[in-house]
Amino acid sequence: MSNPFNTQAQPPSLTVSQLNRQARMLLESHFDFVWVEGEVSNFVVPSSGHWYFSLKDGGAQVRCAMFRNRNQRLRFTPANGDHIRLRCRVSLYEGRGEFQLIVEHLEQAGAGALQAAFEKLKARLLAEGLFDPARKKALPASVSRLGVVTSPTGAAIHDILTVLRRRCPGIAVDVFPVAVQGDGAAREIAAAIERANRWQIEGKVQLDALIVGRGGGSLEDLWAFNEEIVARAIAASELPVVAAVGHEVDFTIADMVADQRAATPSAAAELLSPDQRQWRQRLQTLETSLARLIRSRLHQAGTQLDHLRRRLKHPGAQLREHSQRLDELEQRLVLAQKNLLRRRQSELTLLESRLHARSPLSRLRQLDSEIQHLRQRLTAGMHQRLQLAGDRLGHLAQMLDSLSPLGTLQRGFAIITDREGKVVTDSSAVAIGDEVRARLARGALELTVTKSE
């Protein structure tokens, strides 16, 4: 029982929930993302798909939670006794007042050496300026042919082709097949990038950009894209390079050197392909927004009218006057809504006409008409040239016939040639006993000279 004579003020108190909430907020605001290494124990996977486990070392342990949307990205499931390394946020589970780590990424502890090598190479290439935005090339405004350096059987090429078929099936794709992990993978990737640029210079292909990447995996799986040889090849590429390695949380040296980084291979395909349905979707969105706006305005107007009606008071004349005024306002409101609808419809029609105006169909019809016209002109020109050539040929044939010796032969003359085929025009050119040939209008005679005059 409280003492009514105690005049000293009681200190303020917190509920348990308030205390736990403030403790959680303090922990989360004080700690940034941290890396913690230890051994897995008490690993549990309930029906929700979340992971709950303890991380311990020789002197302590801490509870950990990795939610389903994060653990689905991993290529392996840890087991009790595994030595792991995780990236996490420090937090507190308010329901039990339990200190815990919220895990964002998890990898086997052996990745620590690779991470050190990653940081070392990253620092060296940063000092050389390979990550400088000023040296990176802009992506082309439009892409008609795309090169992809990846595994021909991996999920990455399937995702890229699926996105391109959906967004812009007219883009041609040249796949430069490589191994994306394991010994020699980095050399294959670098060689494929150099080969694509060399073929471009030699005119064997006409690429607009390159996608270099693969699907997700552990740090070891993605290590080929952290090799210096790949970074140098990307930096030396004359073709714009989009790096698409792993998932959104994965970040490699190739991503830093590339002209553009995409979170996933699908995102890279979307980055380099226009969406042919964009205008249609935009029109549909405008139409939906317009209809929603009209319904909202009509609802507001109806609500306002109901409110005004409830405020109307008797008696008679004033009520009728206000009622008439409300009817007038209602008509004006409906008219205004109709006018607004007509304006929005006009804007929609204008956008549709602009969209149709940019369609290539009219230009194709115009070009087809020009081709038909040129084909008709070509046909007429060919007939005219053939007619002129025929007339000229007939004229030349007449001239040739008038000059031809065959006409002379028809009148009874003959052409005499010696054994060598030379025409005999002088009797002294042959001797008695020589054989000569007489060409007649029809046939020839073999003759022997018996007399010469």
What gap in Å lies between CA 155 and CA 213, rounded to an integer? 11
Given the candidates 3.40.640.10, 3.10.180.10, 3.40.50.2300, 3.40.50.261, the CATH classification of the domain at 138-271 is 3.40.50.261
The strand pairing partners of 412, in sequence order, are none
Percent of all residues in the chain with a pLDDT value above 90, rounded to a whole number: 33
- CATH code of the domain occupying 16-109: 2.40.50.140
> Letter for the amino acid at 364?
L
Amino acid at the residue 70: R
Which tens digits make up the pLDDT trace of 141-198?
Answer: 888 999 999 999 988 999 999 999 988 888 999 999 999 988 899 999 999 999 999 9
Provide the pLDDT for residue 179: 93
pLDDT of residue 52: 94
Q: What is the pLDDT of residues 64-76, one digit of tens each?
A: 999 999 888 776 7
List pLDDT tens digits, range 402-418: 676 766 777 777 888 88
How far apart CA 376 and CA 131 sit, in angstroms, is 60
Q: Give the bridge partners for 102, in sequence order.
A: 65, 89
Burial of 219 (0-12, 13-18, 19+ CB in 10 A): buried
How does pLDDT run across 282-291, given as a tens digit for each residue?
778 888 888 9
Q: What are the tokens at 67?
A: 């939610």
Distance from C-alpha of 407 to C-alpha of 401, rounded to nearest angstrom = 8
Q: Where are the alpha helices (DSSP H) in 242-360?
A: 253-257, 265-271, 278-311, 316-357
In the numeric block, which tokens belong to residue 130?
């390979």
**pLDDT of 9:** 65
Contact assessment for residue 176 and residue 149, using Cβ atoms and an 8 Å cutoff: yes
Q: Which residue has the tokens 């390394």?
A: 85
- Output the pLDDT for position 314: 56
Instruction: Give the DSSP letter string of 150-208.
Output: E-TTSHHHHHHHHHHHHH-TT-EEEEEE---SSTTHHHHHHHHHHHHHHHHHHTS---S
pLDDT higher than 70, residue 312: no
Q: Residue 210, Cα to own-chain centre: how many angstroms? A: 10
Amino acid making up residue 413: F
Model confidence pLDDT, tens digit, residues 260-290? 999 899 999 989 888 777 756 877 888 888 8
In angstroms, the CA 431 to CA 446 distance is 15
pTM of the model: 0.43
Rounded CA separation 309/290 (Å): 28
Question: In degrees, to the nearest 5, what angle opens at C-alpha 59 toward C-alphas 56 and 64?
Answer: 25
**Cis-peptide into 315, omega within 30 deg:** yes
Of 271, 263, 197, 182, nearest in space to 227 by CA: 182
What is residue 111's predicted lDDT score, i.e. its pLDDT? 54
Instruction: Count how many residues are written for the chain.
Output: 453
The candidate with the shortest Cα–Cα distance to 175, out of 189, 198, 154, 157, is 157
- The H or E element containing residue 435 is strand 435-439
What is d(CA 354, CA 74) in angstroms, rounded to the nearest whole number? 47
Instruction: Provide the β-strand partners of residue 103.
Output: 88
Average pLDDT, the chain: 85
- Amino acid, res. 223: W
pLDDT for position 1: 47
pLDDT tens digit string along 30-58?
Answer: 887 889 989 999 999 999 999 999 999 88
Percentage of the chain surpassing pLDDT 70?
93
CA proximity to 256, closest of 346, 154, 381, 123:
123
